[in-house]
Structures are given as C-alpha cells and as structure tokens.
Amino acid sequence: MARFSFRRTGPADQPERLVVAHPADEPAPPEPREAPKLNVQADAEADRPTPAIDDSMLDMRLKLHTKLIEEIDLSKLDKLDEAEMRRQVRRLVGDFARTERLALNASELDELGASVFDEMVGLGPIEPLLKDDSIADILINGPYQIYVERRGELEVAPIRFRDNDHLLRIVNRIVATVGRRIDESSPMVDARLADGSRVNAAIAPIAIDGAAVSIRKFSKKPYNLERLVDVGAMPACVAEFLFGAVRSRVSTVISGGTGSGKTTLLNALSAAIRNKERLITIEDAAELQLQQPHVVRMETRPPNIEGKGEIRQRELVKNALRMRPDRVILGEVRGEEAFDMLQAMNTGHEGSMATIHANTPRDAITRLEQMVAMSGMRLPPESIRGQIAAAVGLIVQVMRLSDGKRRLTSVTEITGMEGQVVQMQEIFAFHRIATEADGAVMGEFRATGLRPKCMEEMIRRGIRYDTANFDPNRPLT
C-alpha cells in the first residue's frame, strides 16, 4: 500500500510536498491496463429493450383492487392500528376471493391483501419499491412506465398505475402530508416522504405523457466515511484528510452532477463536526441526516395559491445568521443565497458546508460567481472572486461514473487570489485508466504532491493526520 508523507524534495527555499512512497517490501503499482476492445454484439445485446409487463395480469389485479377498495368500509378501519388494519384487510380479501371463486393460494392472498392496504393508506403500487433497500431511485414517467435504479443501473419495475388519475391521487397524497400543493396553476413541486425520501413531481400541462415523479430514497443506514472507503468511493487517506479538514473548520463545498452522491458525502463528512457545535441546516426538502444533538432544521416554502407566503433559501440563510450558529449547512446552493452563504463563511462561521451542481472544481467557482451576481449586488467580478477565495477552503468533486459507481474524483484547495484569478491546487485526484469488458471503470487515486495550505490549521487545532496507520474499521477521531 502506498504511504503518504510530507518531505522536502527540492531546494531549502521550496515548500514541502506530499509524496507517495512505496516501501521496498511492497510490490510496485500495477501497470495501467490496456483498454478492452469494443464488443459491438455484446453492446447491442445489453441495449435490447426489457420484456414487456404482462398487461392482462396487471389489469386484472388493478380492477380487483378498485372493487375491494370500493367495498371496504374505511370508517370501521381508521381507528385501528396498522397491524389490526392489515388483518382486517386480509380477511376481506379472503372473503372476496371465495365469493368470486378466485384460485389464489395463501401467498397470493397475502400479496393481494398487502397491495390493497398500500392502496388504501400507503402509496399504492410504489410501496413495495420504497421498502426495497436495494433501490436508490424511483422514476415514474406517466402511469405505465416506472424505472428504478439499483447499483447505479436503471431497470424497468414490474408495476404500473391504473391510469393517470390513479397516479395523480398518489402524488397528491404525498404533497399533502408536507403542506404543499400541485395543480395546473402550480404544476411542479418538491416534497418529501415521511421517512425523509426526496420527491419531485411535475404534472400537466408541463408533463405531457402523464405525471412525472422522481423519488430519491432516504437511506435507512446512512453512509459514513468508513463505509465510503469500503465501497471504493475514496481511499482511506483521502477520508482521513477530509475528516481532519472538516473537524478543523475548513469551509467545504461539495460539487457534482445530479445523483453523484453529494448529499451522501455531506452527511458522511458532517460526522467530523463536534457535538458541542450548534448547526443550522437549510434545504428545499429536508433530507440531511446529521447525527449531532444540536441541530436546527429549516426548509423553504413555496407560495400559496394566491402567490404569497413564499420563503426562499436566501431569507432562511439571513435568518440563520441571527440564530447564533456555529456552522450553516446548505443542502444545495442554487441561486442568490450564494452571496449570503459566502458572507456567513467570512464572518465567523468557518466550517460551513454546501453542495453545488458543477462538473469540475473550476466550474463550481464560476457557478458561485454567477449566483452571487443573481443577488442583485452590483459587485465587480474581482470583488466576488475575492470573497469566494476568502470564504471557501476546499472543493470536493464527486461523480457518477459510466458504470454507475459514485466516486470522489478530486479534492481541490482554494489558496487565494493572483491578480483577478482564484488560485486552486489539487490535493488528490482519481485517474481513470481503462474500462473493462463488462463496463466497469478501472482507475486509481493519486496524490498530486502539493502540501495542503489548510494542513497548518489542522496541526494548530491538534488534528492528527496519520494516513499510514489508517484503519477503516475504527471510528475516525
């Protein structure tokens, strides 16, 4: 295993550099693999459409659901607990099956009873998908086309809704629980489920082929840094460095595309924050899973039917600064609130964190500059860049690769300004080497050799950065 250490590699007047040393008793790093040859036939087979769902069977079950729901007296069930309600529904399903002379065994009756119960009090056909821990995303493209993501790959789900009205009823059930609405005058909405899963929905007139719903499931077992190391999202030495940087209050922005793992990494890094600190989180739809005892969670609010009452992220950030926070954490910075976030980082709230949509660390700087300009503050570009350089310490880039795996691809430090340009130096980087025949991306993490500027602050705060003895099975301290 490569060991990372600091030592002087040039003249005495040159800064120390982070170098990778390979002990003599360890094998040299493997040579880069040759890229595999393209297999056109295999690619064509992989792109074949998924077999169609048996519509006749689904139609029969949907019609049966409808008839059962119409005959069940909900007024007699709403005062029962969930277990008793399930038993009552199961009994009614059995009675119905005997009356209609349906050839169903006990397992099929149990399945039908569960689906009827889900239709009555849950989210109908998608309820089993929400209970499947192997599914990360549920993507609904109208009532008849539902996809799920497993291990980074999309696949067709063997469910469907009866029609668009059936789907709209489930969408309205979701948004009503968080006090939001969706209709023709407001056809888009961000919401969340009771377990914290994030939901985005769009309906007619903007969704042409039926309601479009995207559900990012809430992880019941949040990823921590050790688990991210285990799954290969980053090496141990990078996890140790990021833990130390967050613990020593280095303000961090996590950059990446949609579904690249930004929120997952933000949750994992938040474990480095001490329990004595007061944290305020600001999100469009609350989904962060911070484990500290002193957390104030705030959420934006859309306008009401009269177009009034909207509460934007910028207003929440301004208000958060009056609530004596030690750190402010933005689920995602996407507009004019970027200016207030930078002000917070520059006025005694070091260690604040946020995520941003960008493809590279340099793009993240550009996007921050553009979003500050959206605030209406007529600041010259060099002034905005100066604020960014002074406020943000690290930009951590994450990416979902072509094989579906999510990886940290760069840790970049902002070191200051040179003229009118924000200066940056990359500390760690993931280098893609080849793609296997099965589509798996092969690569390795490398240290650039540059000594992080924030390392001095980490040392002053007593943070021990010992990559050589990192044990992923022990808690980071």
Return the CATH number at 152: 3.30.450.370
Q: What is the pLDDT of residues 443-460, one digit of tens each?
A: 888 888 888 988 888 888
Q: What is the pLDDT of residues 291-340, one digit of tens each?
A: 888 999 998 888 877 778 889 899 999 999 899 999 999 988 988 889 98
Dist. CA 205–CA 182, nearest whole Å: 12
Q: What is the pLDDT of residues 339-356, one digit of tens each?
A: 989 988 988 889 999 999
pLDDT at 273: 93
How wide is the angle at C-alpha 238 spanned by C-alphas 237 and 240, nearest 5°? 65
Domain shared by 230 and 368, yes or no: yes
Domain shared by 71 and 177, yes or no: no
Domain shared by 238 and 363, yes or no: yes
CATH number of the domain enclosing 405 = 3.40.50.300
Place of tokens 């553009």: 370
Domain shared by 234 and 203, yes or no: no
Q: Is 14 a member of any domain?
A: no
Question: What do you get for the CA distance between the two ends of the chain, in Å?
Answer: 22
Where would I find the beta strands (DSSP E) of 23-108?
Answer: none
Q: Is 38 a member of any domain?
A: no
Q: Is 391 a member of any domain?
A: yes
Considering the chain, what percentage of its residues have pLDDT values greater than 70? 80
Residue 31 has pLDDT above 70, yes or no: no
List, in order, residues 6 or more apart from 385 with CB less than 8 Å away. 365, 369, 417, 420, 421, 422
Q: Which residue, 197, 198, 191, is CA-closest to 220?
A: 197
Q: Which residue, 38, 90, 101, 45, is CA-closest to 68?
A: 90
Residue 358 has pLDDT above 90, yes or no: yes
pLDDT at 361: 95
pLDDT at 5: 42
Q: What is the pLDDT of residues 270-301, one digit of tens each?
A: 999 999 999 999 988 777 888 888 999 998 88
By the 10 Å C-beta count (0-12 exposed, 13-18 middle, 19+ buried), 102 is classed as: middle
Residue 24 has pLDDT above 60, yes or no: no
Q: Which residue, 153, 177, 250, 167, is CA-closest to 212?
A: 167
Dist. CA 123–CA 467, nearest whole Å: 47
Q: What is the pLDDT of residues 42-66, one digit of tens each?
A: 443 444 344 445 554 455 556 666 6
Domain shared by 290 and 401, yes or no: yes
Dist. CA 253–CA 138, nearest whole Å: 27
Q: Is 25 a member of any domain?
A: no
Place of tokens 């170098």: 19
Residue 33 has pLDDT above 70, yes or no: no
Q: Is 74 a member of any domain?
A: yes
Domain shared by 429 and 410, yes or no: yes
Q: Is 472 a member of any domain?
A: no
Determine the average pLDDT of the residues in 390-399.
Answer: 95
> Of all helices (H) and strands (E), which one includes residue 147?
strand 146-150
Residue 251 has pLDDT above 70, yes or no: yes
This prediction's pTM? 0.74
Residue 178 has pLDDT above 70, yes or no: yes
Residue 221 has pLDDT above 90, yes or no: no
Domain shared by 156 and 304, yes or no: no
Domain shared by 103 and 135, yes or no: no
- The residue from 104, 121, 138 where one domain ends is 121
Q: Count up the domains in the chain and report the number.
A: 3
Tokens of 9: 């590699």
Q: Which residue, 72, 334, 283, 109, is CA-closest to 266?
A: 283
Domain shared by 213 and 234, yes or no: no
Domain shared by 404 and 264, yes or no: yes
Strand partners, 395: 253, 412
Collapsing DSSP states into helix, strand and coil, what is residue 243?
helix
Q: Is 329 a member of any domain?
A: yes
Domain shared by 303 and 433, yes or no: yes
Q: Is 247 a member of any domain?
A: yes
- The residue from 219, 240, 272 where one domain ends is 219
Higher per-residue pLDDT: 419 or 47: 419
Question: What residue numbers bound the domain in which 329 lies?
Answer: 225-460
Dist. CA 227–CA 248, nearest whole Å: 22
- The residue from 121, 156, 175 where one domain ends is 121
| Chain length of the chain | 477
Domain shared by 158 and 200, yes or no: yes
